[in-house]
Structure 1
């Protein structure tokens, strides 16, 4: 089952105020939370929704209790293929609750302590504390703001996959060593005939000999 599907099921169980506005906001609320937890997710583009509905949703979102989430993902390698991902397992932890303003303040405080930058992605705010690598296994970790609608979840085998991902290969591990440069050639020896007394031969050319390929 996908992480986005899991998020949708969690949101569907939350009691919302039964009103036309709340009913219309539910799909956008699900979308907003899914993208907050994983920026690679998202089913709707903002321009596809009507502006009045988005304004209503912004008001509805402001009324929701906010939360700061720690999202960690461990990506396993496909067997024998470090450039291919096998699968991923996730840990989702709510580290702070409160209003959106309080959650944003806590995000900023933690980001400063970790020397991370808070990104602005439309209505979303997140700080990457560990970005994934190009090769597998690897990990990623973000602090992100979202509605306080999801509970803590840890996927099976996460702890082991996380530790393995932290020790995974780095990009430089796959770069071949640069070829060694040829050692400098010995300077050309002068022609004795050209340096003998009274010689009328032209001096040796100052042009260097052609480079000798490395063996």
Structure 2
């Protein structure tokens, strides 16, 4: 993280990964946004473990949602779904079959007296649960197009110098930006005309 210096500070994100922000402790900072792009996550062998973990999480989430429908509203509480999902993910991590995972979820909910299904009903529905899981896992997923956020809020804390004016006039066309003036300015200070369209 780099500290922003000078009389013009910025908040916002530009060029997709350059982020300007303000913290209480450190003031105005700049950084590259951390993270991995989706293509690298999908293809790089270094992320194989993360991909497996993400698949388990998604699969466990779907399995829980299938069975959770049979938990009456009155018997639900705030963290019940999370508990059930955790059971599913742990079971999947231990390479249990789908039927065994559904069974573990059902057993937990039955012991907690939360589910409205009897064991016989569950056994009859188990094949349909597995079929629904397979269908939902095979649904085509839309590729999310990440929009480049080129929005900036500039905070001017002292009168702008000639080079600041030139930079703002010539090099900010690619960005959606607003400017605000904070601080003490001389009584005779005049805001450059080109900035008036960007005043917040």
**TM-score, reference length from structure 1:** 0.21
Whose RCO is larger (CA < 8 A, sep 6+)?
A: 2
Structure with the higher fraction of residues in strand conformation: 1
Q: Could you say which structure has the larger radius of gyration?
A: 1
**Higher share in helix:** 2
State TM-score, norm by structure 2: 0.22
